[in-house]
Structure 1
Amino acid sequence: MKNTKLLCNVVLASACAFLSACATTPATPPSEATVAAYRDVIELAGRLSVNYDKDGRQETLSGKFTWNQRAGDVDVELISPLGQTIATIAVTPLSATLTQSGKAPRTARDIDSLTAQTLGWSLPVSGLRDWLQGYAVAADGQRYAASPANNTVTTRDGWRLTFVNWQEGMAGQPVPRRIDAQRVATAGVSELALRIVIDQPG
């Protein structure tokens, strides 16, 4: 009987110690959480605001977008605030095609130059493949993973990124909600600022 009572006391003490440890072990603070793992296949929807220089004047555009990304391809739809499709963009490893409503498709080797010629501002699709998930290639060539506590970086191709707001992704880890991207004007490159808000994370 004594042995049985002693065993019960040991089990009870162990259980209490375990529950106490669980109760006092703090969860990872949101500010210290790391960005969710990168995925090759994502589908996103959100809003886009663009400030760019055109013939010495500052122009501003805003609207919505959808983003469908697979391993090597990206499909983008740019939508006006009234819900009309402004342009659809299809990017593959070999070329980019942009189609505006009522116009013939235009194709080029890279999307940056194609959108600059067609829309008046360049859409950095290769960068956005990373940025939309909280990643980038930093100025030193190293892979950068953002977090709520480490949210600003200058990329290798001259973009200043700030991951302003975050939201919970599918795996419960933080993913970007708002991204501000600014490119300073240099020789042959116009100043450009993007504000991206992701309403439906993939």
Structure 2
Amino acid sequence: MKRALTGVVAVLAAACAPLNPPPSPAERERAELHWARHREALSQVLGFSLQGRLADDRGRSGELSWQQRADGSFALQLRGPFGAGGVAIDGDVQRVRVRTKHGEQLTEDPRSWMREQLGWDLPLDDLRDWVLGLPAQGPVEALVLDAEGRLAQLQQHGWSVRYERYQRVGALQLPQRLDAESGDIRLRLLVDRWTAIDLAAAPDDD
């Protein structure tokens, strides 16, 4: 998976702590090597399902279910107070159907709908990659790696994403908790369970 990583600053997360010594060239090289392998493994993920919880800085929270399909379509459900009693969004990034207790509607601008109805929005076209621990397509303003070569911080498309914890899912390291911030929007996603990871088939050996 090719990604434009222009203007990226790739350093160890430990270097951000003022009391820790800066990473050595060998540590930087090792982290970047791990990142190349980690990114390649994640690029093989075509689809997934997850269950988790989404919260904002105003104390609102709700349960989240997300199914991402290999064809790029998705189904997302948000239940609880944060979802105003329940919101289901399915479709793709160009056109989605939104269902609530008040009925359903089709929209080509789900982010505007979320801002008007829920007071926040999700960058659906980027979130599919961010939730896996990958930068989305397009320029990246900043990228910080941890010592194991996983994303620790990412700044892209006006959002700042911080990865607090990872969990092992099969052979993959996938995010367990991440915080996303853009302007006055602050969201936290805690993934309770990853399921149905759909991987690209390995090429046949000649």
State the TM-score, normalized to the length of structure 1.
0.67
How far off is 1:119 after superposition? Answer: 1.5
Residue of structure 1 equivalent to 2:153: 152
Alpha-carbon separation, structure 2, partners of 1:109 and 1:83? 20
Alpha-carbon separation, structure 2, partners of 1:81 and 1:145? 34
- Work out whether 1:37 is the aligned partner of 2:42: yes
Unaligned runs of 5+ in 1: 1-27, 52-58, 185-190
- Give the match's secondary structure for 2:46: coil
The higher relative CO (CA closer than 8 Å, separation ≥ 6) is in 2
- Cα deviation 1:55-106 (Å, max 9, x = unaligned): xxxx4310110000112211001011799951111132431221112x1212
Q: Is the 8 A contact 1:98 1:115 kept in 2?
A: no
Alpha-carbon separation, structure 1, partners of 2:144 and 2:95? 28
**Matching residue's letter, 1:153:** L
Change (3 A) 1:145 1:97: farther
Residue of structure 2 equivalent to 1:47: 53
- Give the match's secondary structure for 2:60: strand
Q: Is the 8 A contact 1:107 1:114 kept in 2?
A: no
Alpha-carbon separation, structure 2, partners of 1:111 and 1:146? 31
Q: Equivalent pairs: percent with the same residue?
A: 24
- Give the match's secondary structure for 1:76: strand
- Give the match's secondary structure for 2:59: strand
Residue of structure 2 equivalent to 1:4: none
Alpha-carbon separation, structure 2, partners of 1:169 and 1:142? 29
Alpha-carbon separation, structure 1, partners of 2:185 and 2:175? 20
RMSD: 3.1
Q: Is the 8 A contact 2:140 2:155 kept in 1?
A: no
Residue of structure 2 equivalent to 1:100: 100
Unaligned runs of 5+ in 2: 1-29, 196-206
Alpha-carbon separation, structure 2, partners of 1:122 and 1:115? 5
Alpha-carbon separation, structure 2, partners of 1:146 and 1:44? 24
Alpha-carbon separation, structure 2, partners of 1:164 and 1:179? 6
Alpha-carbon separation, structure 2, partners of 1:98 and 1:60? 24
Q: Is the 8 A contact 2:177 2:191 kept in 1?
A: yes
Q: Is the 8 A contact 2:78 2:86 kept in 1?
A: yes
Change (3 A) 1:82 1:145: closer
How far off is 1:140 after superposition? Answer: 3.3
Change (3 A) 1:40 1:165: same
Alpha-carbon separation, structure 2, partners of 1:195 and 1:151? 15
Residue of structure 2 equivalent to 1:122: 121
Residue of structure 2 equivalent to 1:72: 72
**Matching residue's letter, 2:126:** G
**Number of corresponding residues:** 157
Q: Please, which moves more after superposition, 34-43 or 162-171?
A: 34-43
Alpha-carbon separation, structure 2, partners of 1:122 and 1:61? 14
